[in-house]
Structure 1
Amino acid sequence: MNKRDEYQPGAASGAHVQKEGEKWTLVVVRDLRHAPAKVWNALTDPACLREWAPFDADANLGAVGPVTLSTVGTPTPTISETHVTRADAPNVLEYRWGNNDLRWTLEATDTGTRLTLWHNIDRGFISMGAAGWHICLDVLDRLVAEEPIGRIVGGEAMKFDWPRLNTEYAQQFGL
């Protein structure tokens, strides 16, 4: 059995919802055992993104400017003309993906990096987003540890307990 077949996500944790008016934001916090520079590379380099993210990028996200993001694992890819609005390596990355604003912060800790993602997302999709990011960040953690298991997104995530995570996050968020 390979590492991918052994992968099972843990319980839903490390996420909460912020609401301002009609604007909903999913906040995911994950402690990683890697230096911020290594995590930054995984968040910005197109080759690394192909190993864990729910989208492909046609350019490095580590510089302010335009980039095209294409969803992966969907019947028809959604292609978004995106603009990186902030890229302060290795601390803050901000961009708009479709109609959603994403902000990633990386804070050095004694054991590695505290990664925080703020993702503005429609209320009806917030627990689904939390479940998806949970799996993606597990895969990112393994990639940065040089133990890659390959991207798990879209329909394939169903085989890796995505439905359970979606239910757990919906209960935690009171949705």
Structure 2
Amino acid sequence: MSNRDEYRAGPAAGAEVHKDGDRWTLVLVRELRHPPEKVWQALTDPVSLREWAPFDADRSLAAVGPVRLSTVGTPTPQISDTQVTRVEAPHLLEYRWGENDMRWQLEPLGDGTRLTLWHNIDRAFITMGAAGWHICLDVLERFVAGDPIGRIVGGDAMKFGWPRLKDEYAKQWGL
């Protein structure tokens, strides 16, 4: 029995926005109770990505080169021909998703990991992105802990606190 029905996103926290003209970067930080190697596997392995990420990948993200990412939870999947541009396992992963640069950094923190995600995102979508990643990272945390609740993306996220999170992030950032 999964705890999916009991899951609700906590309050908006652990995210900030860096503004550079029209280019905005969403920065999310999470402290996870698992070592970087275990978190790295969840960030790069296509089977693991299907447990928590807002996209499917046609290969592992743990190697530089082309990869196809397909959105999940959208009426029509958007397929992006993507480039993984930098891989330093198990600490740094960079790729381009659509028009957005993504950078994942994993730092050892005691027995666990400090995960930092930088996502360049259009200003009009930044609160939506923050709310979506907030939920995805909650699901990632449970998956890595061996208590998977299944991916929560797209319209499904509405039932788990996404609208409230979006509003809370907007308020935090004065948007």
Task: Quote the Cα distance in structure 2 between the aligned partners of 1:126 and 1:111.
Answer: 32
Which residue does the alignment assign to 1:5? 5
**Count of residues in correspondence between the two structures:** 175
Which residue does the alignment assign to 2:154? 154
What is the Cα deviation at residue 21 of structure 1?
2.1
Q: Which amino acid aligns with 1:52?
A: W
- CA RMSD in angstroms comes to 0.8
Output the TM-score relative to the length of structure 1: 0.98
Q: Percent identity?
A: 73
Q: Which amino acid aligns with 1:24?
A: W
Instruction: Flag structure 2 segments of 5+ consecutive residues without an equivalent.
Output: none
What is the Cα deviation at residue 173 of structure 1?
1.2
Mapping of residues 88-167 of structure 1, within 5 Å = 88-167=88-167
What is the Cα deviation at residue 111 of structure 1?
3.8
What is the Cα deviation at residue 132 of structure 1?
0.2
Runs of 4+ in 1 over 2 A off after TM superposition: none
Instruction: Summarize the Cα distance change of 1:144–1:2 in structure 2 as closer, same or farther, 3 Å threshold.
Output: closer
Secondary structure of the 2:135 match is helix
Output the TM-score relative to the length of structure 2: 0.98
Which residue does the alignment assign to 2:85? 85
Task: Quote the Cα distance in structure 2 between the aligned partners of 1:127 and 1:62.
Answer: 28
